[in-house]
Amino acid sequence: MKTKSLFFFLSGVLLGSTAVHATGNFDAATQCRSVSAQTCSVAQSLGRGVNMGNMLEAPREGDWGVRLEPAYIDLAASVFKTIRIPIRWSNHAAPTADATLDPVFAARVDQAVDAALAKGLYVIIDVHHYSQLFGDPLQGSELPVAADVVDIRLINMWKQIAERYKNRSPKLLFELLNEPHGRMNSTAWNLLMPQVLAAVRQSNPTRTVIVASTYWSAVRDIALLAMPQQDRNLIMTFHTYDPMAFTHQGLSWMPQFPAGVTCCDATQKKAITDALDKARQWSVGSGYPVYIGEFGSDNKADMSSRETYTRFVRDEAEKRGIPWTFWEFASSFGMYDPVAKAWREPLRRALLD
């Protein structure tokens, strides 16, 4: 979330939000006609999930005040079916074209992935916050990367990641790139994405892969995404944070959204459901399952409104058969208080009861 500030400052708008538990109104005959039976089954099984956010996608683990503790995986496994682990691989890889991964960091990711798989969870790993690829300002300890190698680095990072995890359970899913934006617009992403996918398929020919829409994974760009027709093991992901004036209020890096906004009136609800309807319509039209990678609200909003918003998004997503991973576990959007070592009960209730 932390690097979204420039985008949100410029646009002030994203999409709508939601959640899913079982399959709701999931229609395999239409929403899976472009994918294999295996990937259709995975899509229907993701259910409710949570992001282990602000942990391994910080420039260095711990930089953003929270680390991926083993107890967090245990807690997540007790109530969720899926966890998404955002990972800033790009800051732990050589800045050269080969993008050789740091073996110490890669072993750290192994620990998290294997612990989650051992709990029977579906696990999604991605490439998160690749600032240089998007043309974003560098964060923290990020190193500059020459413009002529930023694209090939993504391909080579995935070649190594895919090889590393090729023998893991089919419950491990690869998400090629979190929130393409900036210089990675729809034209650029539709050119690069098939090359990244081809690198994955060298070692993982049938693993389910998640592909994001552009404009920060916004619903508005879904129709611009060119899914590789020959690959039958793909799921499309989008993110939703509407209404932004509520979910991102009071943040110092988003001064256009002052604190004090409640949720959810009829207009706010319509923004949410319009986005979900558009995503489902794309799914039915294209034959690819869809999945909400992120939705949530920051703790600057009042808890009663956060509970209302979270439950509404969850319920509306589940009505449409769309699985989700809530943003996030234990930071400012989080449902768990790492100091009190307890669930933030209104959010837990809104997501799970």
CA dist 6 and 270 (Å) reads 26
What are the tens digits of pLDDT across the range 156-192? Answer: 999 999 999 999 999 999 999 999 999 999 999 999 9
**Does the CA dihedral 262-268-269-274 come out positive or negative?**
negative
Strands 336-337 and 342-343: antiparallel
pLDDT at res. 23: 52
Would you call 132 helix, strand, or coil by DSSP?
Answer: helix
Q: Per the structure block, which two tokens stand in for 202?
A: 């060298």
pLDDT at res. 27: 85
CA dist 219 and 240 (Å) reads 8
Domain that holds residue 143: 2-352
pTM of the predicted protein model: 0.93
Distances 351 to 121, 139, 220, 306 between C-alpha atoms, Å: 17, 32, 25, 11
pLDDT at res. 208: 98
Q: Per the structure block, which two tokens stand in for 343?
A: 């669930």
| Residues with pLDDT less than 50, the chain | 1-22
Q: How many domains does the chain have?
A: 1
pLDDT at res. 19: 34
Neighbours of 103 (CB within 10 A): 10
CA dist 347 and 342 (Å) reads 12
Please report, as a single letter, which amino acid is at residue 183. Answer: R
Closest CA to 244 of 77, 11, 40, 70: 11
pLDDT at res. 346: 98
CATH number at residue 55: 3.20.20.80
Say which DSSP state 101 is in.
B
